Structure 1
Amino acid sequence: MADAKQQVHLNGAYYGPPVPPRQHSFRSVGRSSRCCCNLFKFFLSLVITVGVVVLVLWLVFRPNEPRVRVDTASLVRFDLDGSSSTLFYNLSLGLTVRNPNRRLSFYYDRLEARAEYDGNRFGFSRLPTFHQGHKNTTVIGPILFDSSQRLFRDSVGETYRRETSEGFYYIDVKVRAKMRVKVWIFRLRYNRPHIDCTLKLPVPGTGGNFESTGCDVDIF
Structure 2
Amino acid sequence: MAVHGQEKSTFCGKLFTLIVTAGFLVLIYWAIFQPHHIRATVSSARLSNLTVTNATAAVSYTLAVTLNLYNPSLRVNIYYDSLDTVLRFRGELLGHASATSPAEFYQRRKSSGDVRVEIRGTGVGVSGDAAAGLEKEKREGKVSLEVAVDARVRYRFGGIKILQKPRIRCWVVIPVKADGGGVLNPGGRCSVKY
Same topology, TM > 0.5? yes
Correspondence 1:1-220 to 2 at 5 A: 50=24, 54=27, 57-58=30-31, 60-125=32-97, 126-127=99-100, 128-141=103-116, 143-190=117-164, 192-205=165-178, 210=184, 211-219=186-194
Instruction: Check the 8 A contact 2:92/2:126 in 1, yes or no.
Output: yes
Distance 1:151 1:167 in 2: 22
Provide the aligned length of Structure 1 versus Structure 2: 170
Structure 1 spans left out of the alignment, 5+ residues: 1-45
- Residues 1:87 and 1:208: Cα distance change in structure 2 (over 3 Å): closer
Distance 1:183 1:163 in 2: 47
Instruction: Check the 8 A contact 1:177/1:193 in 2, yes or no.
Output: yes
The structure carrying a bigger strand percent of its residues is: 2
Distance 1:186 1:157 in 2: 48
CA deviation after TM superposition for structure 1 residue 63, in Å: 2.6
Two-structure CA RMSD over aligned residues (Å): 2.8
CA deviation after TM superposition for structure 1 residue 213, in Å: 1.3
In our comparison, the structure showing a higher alpha carbon Rg is: 1
Structure 2 spans left out of the alignment, 5+ residues: 1-19
Match of 2:12 in 1: none
Distance 1:217 1:195 in 2: 5
Distance 1:89 1:134 in 2: 36
Distance 2:26 2:84 in 1: 36
Instruction: Check the 8 A contact 2:58/2:131 in 1, yes or no.
Output: no
Cα distance per residue 1:136-183 (max 9 Å; x no partner): 111112x22233143333421331243234321111111112221112
- Residues 1:184 and 1:56: Cα distance change in structure 2 (over 3 Å): closer
Identity of aligned residues (%): 23
- Residues 1:173 and 1:200: Cα distance change in structure 2 (over 3 Å): same
CA deviation after TM superposition for structure 1 residue 57, in Å: 4.5
Distance 2:128 2:120 in 1: 23
Distance 2:63 2:141 in 1: 16
Q: TM-score, normalised by structure 2?
A: 0.76
Higher relative contact order (CA 8 A, sep 6+): 2
Q: TM-score, normalised by structure 1?
A: 0.67
Distance 2:128 2:182 in 1: 28
Cα distance per residue 1:31-66 (max 9 Å; x no partner): xxxxxxxxxxxxxxx8xx95x9847842x3243111
What residue identity is the alignment partner of 1:184? Answer: G
Match of 1:18 in 2: none
Distance 1:109 1:209 in 2: 29
